Structure 1
């Protein structure tokens, strides 16, 4: 069994243990131990029913740990009463784990880490490497999160928007080291979509598929960023684009528009164009209008200003941009782009240089420096 399929069984296994009366923290530890044993033994002796094996093994690990704790506290051995075994059902509801790991009592960073560990089945070391922090730091973060939600029971459906936000945060981390977090976020969202067909779940899945499809063309062989207008669109994963569009159409057919569906529609329009010049900017502007009305997100308004610069004229985009807080991330870079679009290379070069100083990532900083140098060279000629 491949690693992806094995980890897909983690939520159902964890849910089964909690359903039998185990607390979340102890159940999660037991499932992780069962997962390690599976990786060690399955290549030689694969079980006929992997899910049943994981549940049975994790449950025994939980019982062993519970009995050891009882012994440590010098309780009577007879005080332990093993709950009767419960039948393993193919319809075990693990959906509650998504909501539990995204509980409002947790910080965003803790919710992301706990989701990757409990729902994604990643090890603490893998998560730490992906986020480029020491394993001990990540271990403490996960431990505190588990303690905070230990004993909590979901008495209501939970906040789906919080779960989707956590998955979106994971996706936006991209990838680093052994774990590709973008791919992991897609896998988790696919799992959620199988259990909950809410239009926004489908919208987020479509957005992830469409955005990730452009990844092969987003950087060159030296790791330098390539802007959308300059990307080799032949390198995009077109089968994934087709799947993303199909998922988006299913979501929009429900006629319950949400922000992730609007973002996915914008991504689909970019993916459909053969070049920047052939992009349907009027439709993109329409979808940004929808997105702004749904979220009032200032970053959505910033991107709308760029779309307006293409759909109408750059001066209109600059006027829209001037109404926004200049401290917004990428505000200066957006102004540089629109001034360049308006045929003002000197102003644009200066703004690109300023934006490079404000950039929070090294690849983005280097890209903006190159843009400034390119325009400066053109201006000299």
Structure 2
């Protein structure tokens, strides 16, 4: 069975069942049952129309579970009189599912899990492994999310911004075990971009591509992080960079700037520099100014302080940093870097060690610990 094909079909099949009258939870369960049957039947007798087969079997599974329900007959009559055949493209159905999985009533963790389950076609076990949580915990999270959205009627335009935030959360999880969440987020965002002509969808996809292009150079063979300035830029994926830049330029040409386009513009300027020394930090600061104007994000302000330190000198960067809350994640690491650039190695070593204790993951902690050890050895 072609796993990639099936994963692409799942959202549309769920969407057809929801449009016919099934709740989201009922539709998702029925499609999972149909997939189990497909695993048994397709190797010996592959269908000519995989989507039509899945819709037919999933709808039958749903009806089997609804035989005791008084509303069953009304649903069947409505389904029989639908004008759209099961095998026809269901872009609208899939788009509704994106908005449903990223519904504002869900927590970010629940929305990302539900998106991966319904839109990505991943199993509960795969999602649990990717997020490094027990499978029963993830199953409960997905079940609660499904119950939360089961009664939601999408009779109003969906919130594109919420969908994009959920996809970006998935992308930023990176990868773990047998599920590459960064690649999965790119696949889902490409799918969304084909369905929805929206400049911020294009901006997010461009941002993902530009970041993903640098992935081969981000870590050493032993797993240690490599800072952007020290990365081997010949290992960057130039094809992904070109695609991302082209997509960004077309989005910017529409003159409706959003936060993901601004972030992508910053990533494009990094990607455009042949060496770290050639980075156009002045223009990057200008884009961070736009990003702060759009979002007023503390994280954007923190990253802007780094850019100011590169463009105008470390003292200017430290001055910008002093305006921010020291409790902000990575604040101490940024302070360490700017103090090192300013020549205060003692303060920088102390701050690197402190930042290592505050790090949220092993790779970052090891990287900061090495920076502290390097400076301590030199003083």
TM-score bracket for the superposition, by shorter chain length: over 0.9
Which residue pairs with 2:187 in the alignment?
Answer: 187
Alignment RMSD, CA only?
1.8
Q: Which runs of 5+ in 1 are unaligned?
A: none
Q: What is the deviation of 1:275?
A: 1.4
Q: What is the deviation of 1:232?
A: 1.0
Distance in 2, matches of 1:84 and 1:173, equals 40
Which residue pairs with 1:57 in the alignment?
Answer: 57
Q: What is the deviation of 1:81?
A: 4.9
Q: What is the deviation of 1:332?
A: 0.7
Q: Which runs of 5+ in 2 are unaligned?
A: none
Distance in 2, matches of 1:302 and 1:134, equals 34
Distance in 2, matches of 1:3 and 1:270, equals 36
Q: What is the deviation of 1:113?
A: 0.8
CA contact (8 A) 2:15 2:90 kept: no
Residue 373 (str. 1) matches residue 363 (str. 2): no
Distance in 1, matches of 2:316 and 2:300, equals 16
Write out aligned runs for 1:292-331 (5 A).
Answer: 292-331=292-331
Write out aligned runs for 1:1-381 (5 A).
Answer: 2-67=2-67, 70=68, 81=76, 83-85=78-80, 86=82, 87-88=85-86, 89-93=88-92, 94-379=94-379
CA contact (8 A) 1:32 1:121 kept: no
Alpha carbons of 1:120 and 1:76: their partners in 2 closer, same or farther (altered >3 Å)? closer
Three-state SS of the structure 1 residue aligned to 2:293 is: helix
Distance in 2, matches of 1:79 and 1:287, equals 55
Distance in 2, matches of 1:269 and 1:47, equals 48
Alpha carbons of 1:100 and 1:139: their partners in 2 closer, same or farther (altered >3 Å)? same
Distance in 2, matches of 1:24 and 1:76, equals 16
CA contact (8 A) 2:273 2:279 kept: yes
CA contact (8 A) 1:127 1:138 kept: yes
CA contact (8 A) 2:200 2:261 kept: yes
Three-state SS of the structure 2 residue aligned to 1:9 is: helix
Three-state SS of the structure 2 residue aligned to 1:292 is: helix
CA contact (8 A) 1:167 1:185 kept: yes
Q: Deviations over 1:82-114 (max 9, x none)?
A: 544341322441211111111111111111111
Alpha carbons of 1:336 and 1:244: their partners in 2 closer, same or farther (altered >3 Å)? same
Q: What is the deviation of 1:129?
A: 0.8
CA contact (8 A) 2:21 2:75 kept: no
Q: What is the deviation of 1:42?
A: 2.9
Distance in 1, matches of 2:227 and 2:73, equals 68
CA contact (8 A) 1:284 1:307 kept: yes
Q: What is the deviation of 1:361?
A: 1.1
Q: Deviations over 1:35-70 (max 9, x none)?
A: 233344334432222221221121111112222xx1
- Equivalent pairs counted in the alignment come to 374
Distance in 1, matches of 2:128 and 2:199, equals 32
Q: TM-score, normalised by structure 1?
A: 0.94
Q: TM-score, normalised by structure 2?
A: 0.94
CA contact (8 A) 1:16 1:92 kept: no
Q: What is the deviation of 1:376?
A: 1.5
Q: What is the deviation of 1:148?
A: 1.3
